[in-house]
């Protein structure tokens, strides 16, 4: 489990095709404190550490994950949002995030609003019912508040701090982002669906 509070921006330093795809990621984390088998959210995708060095760790990504997320476009030099898994007693600054990406959205517009950036994203139609104004959504691993929604298009604002400590400040129209809907929205929708069939 994660909170959607990005704590490092990593850089992909190698991509290797094996049975799965292995990515090596440079990080500012103290890798001595990262266990092999630990979970790290990489741009919103929960991945398992399979190897590590002084300033890097490696993860294996299945073809299924590559096809359902934006990770397929990662190459050497790609910058990614990182978050280590939540520990009991940690501050819950964002919202509960599982690291299981629900779909990939497309940025349709980026505009300045004061010091903030307004990002507009088109979500897959199947996810639109789960996105609510003033609700939470995870974009490439970052917990954000939905400020507006119209059908499957929604807007979020990035304050200067978020622009600096995540990769989201460099988004442009046409970029694709990993989306994870709010867990509460998922279960409310499931309960409503179940109550109609019960």
Tokens of 26: 């440079």
pLDDT tens-digit series, residues 38-74: 999 999 999 999 999 999 999 999 999 999 999 999 9
The pLDDT of residue 190: 67
Tell me the domains of the chain and their CATH numbers.
8-84 (2.40.30.20), 103-197 (2.40.30.20)
97 closest CA partner among 133, 49, 46, 60: 46
d(CA 97, CA 181) in angstroms, rounded, equals: 9
- Helix/strand/coil for 30: coil
Tens of pLDDT, residue by residue over 125-149, are: 999 989 999 999 999 999 999 999 9
pTM for this entry: 0.92
CA count, 13 A, side-chain hemisphere, 72: 11
pLDDT average, residue stretch 27-38: 97
The span from the first CA to the last CA of the chain, in angstroms, equals 31
Order of strands across the sheet that contains 153-158: 142-145, 136-139, 176-181, 103-113, 116-122, 153-158, 148-150
pLDDT digits over 181-190, tens only?
987 777 777 6
Helix spans in the chain (H): 63-68, 160-165, 183-197
Distance CA 110, CA 44 (A): 21
């Amino acid at each position: 489990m994660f909170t959607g509070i990005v704590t490092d921006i990593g850089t992909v330093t190698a991509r290797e095709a094996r049975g799965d795809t292995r990515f090596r990621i440079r990080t500012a984390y103290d890798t001595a404190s990262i266990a092999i088998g630990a979970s790290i959210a990489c741009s919103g995708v929960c991945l398992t550490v399979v190897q590590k060095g002084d300033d890097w760790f490696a993860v294996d990504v299945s073809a299924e994950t590559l096809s359902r997320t934006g990770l397929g476009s990662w190459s050497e030099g790609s910058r990614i949002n990182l978050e280590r898994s939540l520990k009991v007693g940690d501050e819950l600054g964002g919202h509960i995030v599982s690291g299981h990406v629900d779909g990939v959205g497309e940025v349709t517009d980026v505009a300045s609003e004061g010091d903030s950036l307004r990002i507009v994203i088109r979500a897959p139609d199947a996810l639109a019912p789960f996105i609510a104004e003033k609700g939470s959504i995870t974009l490439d691993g970052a917990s954000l508040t939905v400020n507006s929604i119209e059908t499957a298009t929604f807007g979020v604002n990035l304050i200067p701090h978020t622009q600096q400590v995540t990769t989201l400040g460099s988004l442009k129209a046409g970029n694709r982002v990993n989306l994870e809907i709010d867990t509460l929205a998922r279960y409310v929708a499931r309960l409503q669906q179940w109550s109609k069939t019960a």
